[in-house]
Amino acid sequence: MKIVVDAMGGDYAPQSIVAGVVEAVRELGVNVVLVGIKDQVEEELRKFDYPRKKIEIIHAPEVVGMDEPATVSIRKKRESSISVGMKLLKEPDYDAFISAGNTGAVVASASFNLGMIPGVERAAIGLVIPTLKKFAFLMDVGANTEPKPEHLFHSAQMAQVYVREVLGVPNPSVGLLNIGEEAGKGSGFEKETHKLMTEQLSHFLGNIEPNEIFSGKTDCIICDGFVGNVVIKVSEGLMEAAGTLLKREIKKSPMAMLGAFIIKSNLQHIKKYADYSEYGGAPLLGVNGLVMISHGRSSPKAIKNAIKATMREVEHKIIESMRKVISGQ
């Protein structure tokens, strides 16, 4: 197995990426191809001890900035790490591509260079999120902000494959994210999607309200990319704000500081539980190849976990499974 990793993607690239890759080859025995500006990648690699044969470098002279328009990787910077890395997937030796870089650029480049799974029109990004039971798979969290009902239907089918094969949940259930439980809730778009899923999707449990996302009510939660992105960003912001408030409160009295000191490890445990990077990256599904998107602020550990999750995708041949489900075989 050979996994291609964008060495230049993310806020802490290439340092964080290279460190995570080194951890992965040491612990997981995987082969990695680092794509990026060769000198910089080599300089980072020199800091570590690792089995040399396990990491290969492929030079890509350009870098897509985190704030550049999505199409830059296709139209302008054709020699960027995203572009070069993505194109490698078309060759039989390379199994998957991981990037913590510009999400829009990765989605555009994947759609353009790899094409889609037959029957699927648009790609979507899934994300494993923690719940009170264990986890749920939220999709789409940002690729397709103006989907048609069929796009969400295909997302649901692909999410079920992912959760079954990669997360090991037999017969995953699906909920449609909506602002009410009844079938008639939401806009015309939600009503039409609800109808389509009711008629054609296996194990569809109907609408799921946003306050139930973290309850673990369904294994997959399907929504459009705008709403999914709002869900994860509101959650991030709220946890940060709650943490800040707690710190402010605690500083008000020495007794509170003592109490907080005692339960510090418990609070950290919750923080760890809520940390998406514990669960690997966010798979881009629908394109004809395995592409994993990591958070722009990915730590080395997050990169390692993304590689680990990607290895399961490769082992379980999820593209083949998705192809079968979409074509109704």
Residues that bind a copy of itself (CB under 8 A): 67, 69, 131-132, 142, 145-146, 177, 179, 182, 184, 186-188, 209-215, 226-227, 229-231, 233-242, 244-246, 249-250, 252, 255-256, 258-263, 266-267, 269-270, 273-274
Q: Least distance in Å: CB of 232 to a copy of itself?
A: 8
Q: Least distance in Å: CB of 74 to a copy of itself?
A: 16
Taken in order 3, 7, 9, 13, is the CA torsion positive or negative?
A: positive
Q: Least distance in Å: CB of 243 to a copy of itself?
A: 10
Closer residue to a copy of itself in complex, CB, 18/105: 105
CA–CA dist 53, 71 (Å, integer): 34
Q: Which residues of 105-117 are buried (b: 16+ CB within 10 A; e: fewer)?
A: bbbbbbbebbebb
Q: What would the DSSP string read from start to end of 267-324?
A: HHHHHHHH-GGGG--EEEESBSSEEEE--TT--HHHHHHHHHHHHHHHHTTHHHHHHH
Closer residue to a copy of itself in complex, CB, 43/261: 261
Q: Least distance in Å: CB of 236 to a copy of itself?
A: 5
Q: Which residue stretches of 130-209 are H helix? A: 149-165, 188-200
Closer residue to a copy of itself in complex, CB, 9/130: 130
CA–CA dist 263, 329 (Å, integer): 53
Say which DSSP state 263 is in. Answer: T
Closer residue to a copy of itself in complex, CB, 55/136: 136
Q: Least distance in Å: CB of 304 to a copy of itself?
A: 25
Closer residue to a copy of itself in complex, CB, 203/257: 257
